[in-house]
Every structure is written in structure tokens, then in C-alpha cells.
Amino acid sequence: MNKKVLLSAASLCMIMCACNQQAKQDNPFLAEFETPYGTPDFTSIRTEHYEPAILKGIEEQNNEVEQIANNAEDPTFENTIDALDNSGQILSRVSGVFFALTEANTNDTLAVLEEKFAPMLAEQSDHIYQNAKLFQRVKVLKEQTEKGTIQLSQEQSRLLDKIYKRFVRSGAALDEQAQSRLREINKELSTLSTTFGNHILNENNAFKLIISDKDDLEGLPEWVIAGAAEEAKAQGEDGKWIFTLQEPSRLPFLQYSAKRELREKLYLAYINRGNNGDSNDNKEIIHRIITLRLEKAKLLGFDCYSNYVLDQCMAKNEKTVMDFLDNLWNYSIQNAKNEASQLQAIMDREGKDETLQGWDWWYYAEKLRLEKYNLNEDEIKPYFSLENVQKGLFYVVNQLYGIQMKPIDDVTVYDPDVKTYRVENADGSMLGIFYCDYFPRAGKRGGAWMSNFREQKGSLRPLIYNVANFTKPAGDIPSLLTLDEVETMFHEFGHALHGLLAQCNYYGISGTNVARDFVELPSQIMEHWAMEPEVLKQYAKHYQTGEAIPDSLIQKIQNLSTFNQGFNTTELLAASLLDMYLHNIQSPDELGDDIMAFEKAKMDNLGLIPQIAPRYRVTYFNHIIGGYAAGYYSYLWAEVLDADAFEAFKEQGIFDQSTANAFRTNILERGDSDDPMTLYRTFRGAEPSIEPLLKNRGLK
């Protein structure tokens, strides 16, 4: 090589490195994080970095998209589909961190930025997927594969089909006027959705049930009282007790408090979030969202929004979903009515001449559990410290897949409560980095979820996190989990496994980028191991004595498996059906002017009993604002899959290696590389049966 050329190349390299370093110093998002695993460097990230990084990321991706669209070469998979899959690295890096924090550790400044970024990012997506030149290149490749003139791998074919459909579903085939209107709808929807979520967070943080009279703590176990005292102390109300709308605070109060009027106050505050006629009211927002979604669906050739969504799912259309939900409803509602009668009978025996209401259900269900099974949750909780439950979870994944979870301290985090692990295969090779953030805080929305700072692709390993709102430690009492919280930890780690074990070659089909009604299979199947006697013996140990949970308690837990399932299934089904009713409308007139009247009419027509509210009502149904619009049924749909799949493990032994390997290689590693039912049939050898679900829930 010519020395001058060599020197020029070296000089260019030095200049690029210097520029990269300067960019890194100016804004950590503008270059890869220089950390041991490429993890976000939270020590250098500041609030003022987000907006310039978002803007730079949009600019970078726009330039990349223009280069792909205007490429003079004929379209190939590599120069069009793969190039598009790889575009927007800065935007991906900054949005991964920003939206993780707006969900788990937000503040007023981030909330304002989120509302600002939402329409910008919606517009950016439209800029890409309504690009006529780029769509033409994708369309040519799609036609060539259909004619057989080019041959692609299964993954490549799947990604091409997915991207082609996204262009069509984003309006690439519409005329200019329709595209313009669609862009306006998408921008408005993004802003409304962000505002909706912020209102719910505000409502959660605003309500406090402050107790100053110790007599008002009647019935509450010591661990509940201690937690409320800690909450009061943290909020400057030392010597009092505070209960909030967060699940670890709300549910134990409803379950144990003997003060009916206080239970009512807490319950009504919870089910009326976003429905109080104040600055956080969501009625007009959700009405507008549903109306805009219908208009969007019609622009794209669908009769309703649910069919627009379901066209990309296993279910395919709203009729399939409605038939599925209606069938389950017929089983669940009768069970719920029977349970309500049993609870009313206990109230009648107390001689208070009171009628069972929604705020009574948890309280009297706990009494029924004690009466029927000689067991209350307070007896179980000492065996389920968070630390021991996590050890049990890690034991299960090690036995199934040889996975090792190694705590690390060289990864920076956004809050001291966040813990990090290096996840390894049995041979020591790295699978990814796992973050867990388990305790409530003011800046965290309710519920539990999984997401990532980075997707898996090829040899690039993912950065996965789980977030939850579990009971916090209080004084000398560690975090003690309810049975529901135990299952939630296992559930969310099932999603994490889906991301960590992915072995795909493209971002767009890796990990959890699958059909909405398939994504819950890996999470829900993990719940089954949590309460298996063989597993309980490994991790359920008393936090004070260290003794393993006795067989008598394990048997009681097993006996409880179908307890209160009429209630649990009915509230879940009611929310699933409400979601579908909202998105099945084919005219705005069907919605009417009053969204709450719409909800009531639908629930009354369904026959929902007044003691049960849908698990989520329209004004705080965050799932359908996010990715589960016309998709909340997915939890039950996937339960058919997970109940059937776990039967395969039980047939051979719950830690059978051949079954575990088949599930890993055909489900967990494959992402969206093939049709989900094809993946399932390859694992199971047949399509799933609904019978295991009905059996597990005691519905048949």
C-alpha cells in the first residue's frame, strides 16, 4: 500500500476517534457506551442530554433512510431490509434509556419531555414507513420472493414480510391526502397516550389514606402496619400510617382491615382513577383515543380497530377473540356468583345486615380461605422473602436451561434499588445482562413489566430488565411476597428469558418482538414452576428460622390453586371484553358521548355482578393505551398455550432436559422467526387444547 494512503487512513482514523470521544464527552448517547458490557452509563447521563440526543438520532436515521431509499443499486435484502433493520442506533440507544426511566423513575421534567417527544417520534415513524421510494424497494423484494426469483432464509423472509406489512399498515399505499391525515392522527394519539399515562401516575401518587388512630389498624397484620409506618415516615408523617393505591399497600389493606368504611374509601379511590372531573381526568382523552383509532383503521381499510390490530396476531380477527372470551365467560361468571354467595353467607353470619360490595370481597375472601382451607396469607408470607423467591427462580432456570445468574457491581444503575446480574450459559458464555427493579417509588407506574436497553442481534447480547412493585422491607422485616407477587416475579423473568435466550440475526424479529397473543407464553409458563412442591422445597424458607416450608403448608397452597378463581377470571375477562367492545365499534355513534355510560352498559349487558369491577376500567386501562389495544385477551389466549405446554413438562418431569431443550430451541430462542403456531406445533407436536386452562382455573 502507498505510504501516503496509509498515513491518510491512519489520520482519518485518529480524527474519527477524536470526534467520537468529543461526542461522548458532550453527550453520552451519541456514541456507544464505553462500559464493560455496553450498558448505559448512568453516571454520565443527565436530563439535558435527552433532547439533543433524540434530535440527533432522528436526524441520523432520516439520513440513513434517505440513503437506502435513493440507493442507485437494485434492491437486495442486504441494502434495503438489513440496512433498515440496522438504522437509528442513536435513537434506539437514547429512547431505550429515556422510556425506561419515564416508566420506572420519572419526574416532572421527564414527564414534560415525554409529552414533547411523543409526537416527534410518531412523526419520525411515519417519515420512514410512508416513504414512497423506500416502500417501492421493499415491495420489489416482496414480489421477487413470491415469484421465487430470489431465495431468502426463513428469518430473512419473515423480516421482509413483517416490514412490508408495516409499510402497508402505516399507510404507504395510501394517497397523499390520506397519508397526511394519518400522520395527524398518529401525532395526536401519541400525545394523548402520554398524557393518559401521566394522569394515572399523578392519581396514584396523589391519594393517601392517612391513619393517625391506632384503632383504625384493626385486623391488619404486623407486617402491613410496619410497611404503612415506613411509608408515613418517608412522607414526613412520622407516628402515623399511610396506605396508598400501590398494590403492595392497597391489597393487604382491603384483605385484612376490619374498618369497612376505610376499605370503601381506598377501593373507590382506586377504581375511580381518571374519573374525578379534575386535571387528571381521562374520560375525554380515552373517548378521543378510541375515536381516532377507529378513523385510522378505516383509512387503512379495516371496519374496526380491533381487526386492524388482530390482523397481525394469532387470532386474526375480532370474531375469533370474541368467541374465545364469550366461551370462557360462560364458565367464569357462574363461579364468581357462587363465590359471592359464599362471601355473603359469612357476612350474614356476622349479623351486620350488610350487602357484599366490591370493597368487601378481599376481606371476606380471606375469611373464607381461613374457614375453608385453614390458611391465611399471613401464615405463608414468612416463607416468601424476596431474596429467597429470587433464589428459587434462579434455581428453576438453572435446572431447566443451565443458566447461571451472577451478581455484578460494575454496571451503573438509575436507582440504588436496581440490582444487576451477568447471565451465563452452563459453559460460561454470556447470554446478557439482567437488571431487576422491584420496589415502588413515587416516579414508578404501577404493575410489573419487562423491557430492554438493547435487543439481541447475532453475537450482540441483550440488556434486559424487569420492573415490579413488590412489598418493601420495613424495619427488621424483609420484603415478604404474597403468592401473587411470587408468581409475578416468575412471570416477568419468563419475558426476560425470551429476550436473553434469543438467537436471531435481526433486531426486528428478536426476543419479544412477536405477535401480541404469543408474547405471554414464555412468561406465563414460568409461573407454573413457582408453586410446584419440588420447587417450593428449594426456596420457600422462613426468613427468621431458615426452616423449609412444611409439607402441610405446601398441601394447603396446592389446595388453594382454584380458590377465588371465579373472581380472578371474571375481572380479567371483563377487562378483556371491555377492551374489545371499545375497539370493535364501527361508528363513533356506538361509543356515545359518555364513555363511562358505554362501559356500564356493556358490563350490565354482559351480566357482570356489581361486586366485581373489570380489572381495569376505561379511565385507567394503561394496557390498551400501550401495546395491548384490542390485545388484553392475550393473557388468557396465551394461558391456553402455557397450560398445554406445561403439560408436556409434567408428562416427562418438570425438569426434563429434552422437553426444556425443545422449549428453548423452538420457542425462547426463535423470537418471531416463524409463524407462532408453527413454532408451538414444532415444540408440542400438536395445537394446544383448552382443557388444561379450564382445569387449572377450576372452571370445569
- For residues 81 and 69, is the Cβ–Cβ distance under 8 A? no
Helix axes 247-256, 361-373, angle to 10 degrees: 60
- C-alpha–C-alpha distance, residues 455 and 513, integer Å: 10
| CA 430 to chain centroid | 25
Grid cell digits, residue 477: 422485616
- C-alpha–C-alpha distance, residues 499 and 561, integer Å: 29
Grid cell digits, residue 589: 355513534
- C-alpha–C-alpha distance, residues 259 and 220, integer Å: 10
**How many angstroms separate the Cα of 69 from the Cα of each of 75, 83, 398, 448?**
9, 10, 46, 40
- C-alpha–C-alpha distance, residues 134 and 70, integer Å: 8
For residue 698, is it left (φ>0), alpha (ψ between -120 and 50) or beta?
A: left
Q: Which residues contact 301 (CB under 8 A, 6 or more apart)?
A: none
Phi, then psi, of 503 in degrees rounded to 5 = -135, 65
Helix axes 318-349, 565-584, angle to 10 degrees: 140
Strand ranges, E, within 193-250 = 209-211, 241-243
- C-alpha–C-alpha distance, residues 580 and 168, integer Å: 23
Strand ranges of the sheet holding 430-437, from the earlier edge strand across to the other edge: 404-407, 419-424, 430-437, 463-467, 449-454
- C-alpha–C-alpha distance, residues 626 and 582, integer Å: 15
- C-alpha–C-alpha distance, residues 409 and 35, integer Å: 12
Q: Which residues contact 111 (CB under 8 A, 6 or more apart)?
A: 102, 198, 201
Whether 492 is catalytic? yes
Please count the residues of the chain. Answer: 700
- C-alpha–C-alpha distance, residues 228 and 215, integer Å: 14
* Residue whose grid cell is 452509563: 41
- C-alpha–C-alpha distance, residues 117 and 110, integer Å: 10
Angle at 679 between CA 674 and CA 684, to 5 degrees: 170
- C-alpha–C-alpha distance, residues 213 and 225, integer Å: 12
Active-site position among 231, 247, 485, 492? 492
Pairing of strands 463-467, 430-437: parallel
The 3 state secondary structure assigned to 14-57 is HHHHHHHHHHHHHCHHHCCCCCCCCCCCCCCCCHHHHHHHHHHH
Q: Which residues contact 420 (CB under 8 A, 6 or more apart)?
A: 407, 408, 409, 411, 413, 433, 434, 435
Q: Which residues contact 626 (CB under 8 A, 6 or more apart)?
A: 193, 197
Residue 135 parent element (H or E):
helix 132-147
Question: In angstroms, what is the C-alpha Rg of the chain?
Answer: 26
Residues known to be catalytic: 492
